[in-house]
């Protein structure tokens, strides 16, 4: 009887420990790849669009977009052009970019959720009818 209780206890402990272990493994992978993911995002956006994206800092925020694991991008600015004197048309204190846990374990980085927090967009229509945000995000 005692052996059966011990066996059940080990089984229950295993089921409780496994999700925590997976969570910490994913957190470690994300922490390890975080800088590369953010740098790839900034480089791709700045190559593909006429405007410029600037990110001050980033860190892991595991529960911001639950059930997705998130990277918190701090103090994000978007400029209409790559000119250093250009005025920011979008500023956000935080952008939480959520990634699927299972896809990350498989080596695929797919953005599943984006949450924006505390910021502004200065939307301006130019005399030619175009909007500054459309100009910044055009390729």
Which tens digits make up the pLDDT trace of 33-78? 778 878 887 888 888 888 899 999 988 887 787 888 888 999 999 9
Q: Is 75 left (phi over 0), alpha (psi -120 to 50) or beta?
A: left
Q: Which two tokens stand for residue 18?
A: 């496994």
Residue 1 banded pLDDT, cuts 50, 70, 90: low
In whole angstroms, how far apart are CA 124 and each of 5, 17, 90, 98, 133? 70, 53, 11, 30, 8
Per-residue model confidence (pLDDT) at position 67: 80
pLDDT tens by residue, 96-112: 988 887 776 677 778 88
Q: Can you tell me the distance from the alpha carbon of 88 to that of 117, in angstroms, rounded to the nearest whole number?
A: 17
- Nearest-angstrom CA–CA distance, 125 and 16: 56
**CB 71, CB 61: distance < 8 Å:** yes
Q: Which residue in the block uniquely carries the two structure tokens 């956006």?
A: 45
pLDDT on residue 115: 92
CA–CA separation, 80 vs 53, rounded Å? Answer: 9
Mean pLDDT, residues 7-32 taken together: 80
* 10 band by pLDDT with thresholds 50, 70 and 90: confident
Is 78 in contact with 52 (CB distance < 8 Å)?
yes
pLDDT, residue 29, reads 74
Q: Residue 47: phi, psi to the nearest 5? A: -80, -35
């Amino acid at each position: 009887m005692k052996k059966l209780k011990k066996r059940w206890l080990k089984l229950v402990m295993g089921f409780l420990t496994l999700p925590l272990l997976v969570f910490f493994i994913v957190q470690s992978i994300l922490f390890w790849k975080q800088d590369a993911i953010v740098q790839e995002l900034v480089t791709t956006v700045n190559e593909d669009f006429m405007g410029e994206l600037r990110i001050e800092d980033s860190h892991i925020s595991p529960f911001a977009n639950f059930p997705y694991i998130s990277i918190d991008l701090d103090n994000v600015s978007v400029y209409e052009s790559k000119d250093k004197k250009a005025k920011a048309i979008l500023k956000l204190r935080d952008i939480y970019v959520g990634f699927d846990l299972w896809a990350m374990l498989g080596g695929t980085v797919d953005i599943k959720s984006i949450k924006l927090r505390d910021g502004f967009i200065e939307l301006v229509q130019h005399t030619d009818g175009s909007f500054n945000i459309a100009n910044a995000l055009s390729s």
